[in-house]
Structure 1
């Protein structure tokens, strides 16, 4: 599910800004962007994220800004001594007189360093607290979105159950339709001839058995009930729901195959099965967003 949260924290003369953005993903995919001085805290932060989020692609950005007008500047005395010693040695080798110019020496690379505070336990606690607050806000957004999605899934599941009921009513009259179609076909093939009632009954029974969808409808209804129970439970249902929808899709495919062999009698059944299959596909698309 999608969501965004951001928090700010102050620590002495520094400001911490942390943002979390979540988009749909089948697994948990964490992308953590930290400034170099905070990278050592990454393992602990990843462990904290896993406590709050199970699925989704997460982009987490952390920015640390110093609020000081100036930072302590440190003269690199060992480096200065090394430069001066090297100058005097070169002067002695080449027979030169005089001392090196201090102003020129101080302009050499690496002569001054800006002292920045090292991350400590206080910084780690502040960072963890900021991330935890952001994840709580993110989950509140995701939960609201989840409730909206669940309501839509219930509506679509109710439509599937209604289609299944209409298919059951239609299938009960299908045997008579098959018999009428078969009699008409035989009359066309045997004009003026008599039809053996026993043979006709056998053919009707054979075709009716091939077109019987009672078992598929029973399983489809059971799966629809299980789907409703999953939504009511409110637990992590993403993977369970995906498996259940695969089973429902399999039943509708079988119904479609049997309806195709029932001639004109199966046309209405085909329309209903296709409508149910379309609802299942829409549920699968939304189930991708649920945990």
Structure 2
């Protein structure tokens, strides 16, 4: 699920801002963007976040600003000399007027030295890890609200599928008379006469009905759909179980479609309803990628 959280922690030595941006992902994939002096904390950060977050592609940004009192910034004199020399050479070569700007020079990467890992006390490491824990809690709260909204939408789609199944069951219940009529018309045309043995007609219709019977598929489709709706209502982690149920629901829909070819107008109606059910299943599958 998607989400964003930002936390600020302040210690006597530094101010720390940690943000986490999450997008959909089947597993847990973390990418860190932080100053080199905090690189030794990456392993602990990964462990901390892994305990709190199960899935998602995470972009973790960590800003670290030492206070002037704790980390005076030493001037990189060789780099400044190189900058001034390059400035003068460019001015002379291109006959440009002007003076070097000190503010611009000091903003150059590496011009002001950064605190080293050895200079960071335990309070900084503790603040970074505390920020990670707090950000994970905030992120999960955002993702949980999104998950509840998605679960509500999926519940509506489950109810829609159950409604489609009910309509197919009603049509199936009246299928045998329709089979008899269709078979009678076909045999009458072949024999060029209206006289057909009613008992033989009923037997042939029953055979045709059995080959095209979708009662078991409808029952399983309804059962799987009700299981999915109940699982969503119960909450908790549903990702893998939901994937399995959707596969089963899709299989039953395909089987229903494969059996409706010989049902005439009834078959066309059932086909339309089964295709509508498959469409709902596909939409659930797309939205399910956002759930854990």
Same fold (TM over 0.5): yes
Contact 2:161/2:277 (<8 A) preserved: yes
Q: 1:46 to 1:72 in 2, by over 3 A?
A: closer
> Taking structure 1 as reference, are residues 122 and 156 closer, same or farther at Cα in structure 2, changes over 3 Å only?
same
Residue 8 of structure 1: how far off its partner (Å)? 1.5
Q: Please name the residue that 1:143 is paired with.
A: 144
SS of residue paired to 1:25: coil
Q: Secondary structure at the match of 2:133?
A: helix
- Tell me the TM-score normalized by structure 1: 0.82
- For the 8 Å contact 2:217–2:255, the answer to whether it is kept is yes
Matches of 1:246 and 1:133, distance apart in 2: 37
Aligned position for 1:37:
37
How far apart in 2 are the matches of 1:175 and 1:123?
78
Q: Cα deviation per residue 1:67-86 (whole Å; 9 max; x = unaligned)?
A: 318726599xxxxxxxxxxx
Greater Cα radius of gyration, structure 1 or 2: 1
Partner of 2:115: 116
Tell me the TM-score normalised to structure 2 length: 0.82
Tell me if structure 2 keeps the 8 A contact 1:227–1:244: yes
SS in 2 for 1:260: coil
Residues 1:21 and 2:8 are matched in the alignment? no
Equivalent residue, structure 2, for 1:246? 247
Partner of 1:216: 217
| Aligned-partner SS, 2:259 | helix
Distance 1:35 1:115 in 2: 9
Name the structure 1 match of 2:52.
52
Q: Give the Cα separation in 2 of the matches to 1:192 and 1:73.
A: 108
Do the aligned partners of 2:29 and 2:58 also contact (CA within 8 Å) in 1?
yes
Aligned to 1:108: none
| Displacement after TM superposition at 1:120 (Å) | 2.9
- Where does structure 2 lack aligned partners over 5 or more consecutive residues? 77-111
**Which secondary structure state, in structure 2, belongs to the residue aligned with residue 4 of structure 1?**
strand
Could you tell me which residue of structure 2 aligns to residue 100 of structure 1? none
Alpha-carbon displacement from aligned partner over 1:22-56 (angstroms, at most 9, x marks no partner): 00111111112221111111111111111111111
Of the structure 1 ranges 193-202 and 241-250, higher mean CA displacement relative to structure 2 is found in: 193-202
Partner of 1:195: 196
1:106 aligned partner: none
| Contact persistence 2:171–2:266 (CA under 8 A) | no
Give the Cα–Cα distance (whole angstroms) in 2 for the partners of residues 120 and 261 of structure 1.
Answer: 78
Equivalent residue, structure 2, for 1:154: 155
- Segments of structure 1 that go 5 or more residues without pairing to the other structure are 76-112
Per-residue CA deviations over 1:129-186 (Å, capped at 9, x if unaligned) read: 1111111111111011011001101111001011111110100111111110111111
Alignment of 1:59-208 (within 5 A): 59-68=59-68, 71=72, 73=74, 114=113, 116=115, 118-192=119-193, 194-208=195-209
Deviation of 1:262 (Å): 2.1
Q: Which residue of 1 aligns with 2:284?
A: 283
Q: 1:114 to 1:167 in 2, by over 3 A?
A: closer
Give the length in aligned residue pairs.
255
In 1, Cα distance between equivalents of 2:7 and 2:234: 32
Shift of 1:209: 0.6
Instruction: Verify the 8 A CA contact 2:20 2:59 in the aligned structure 1.
Output: yes
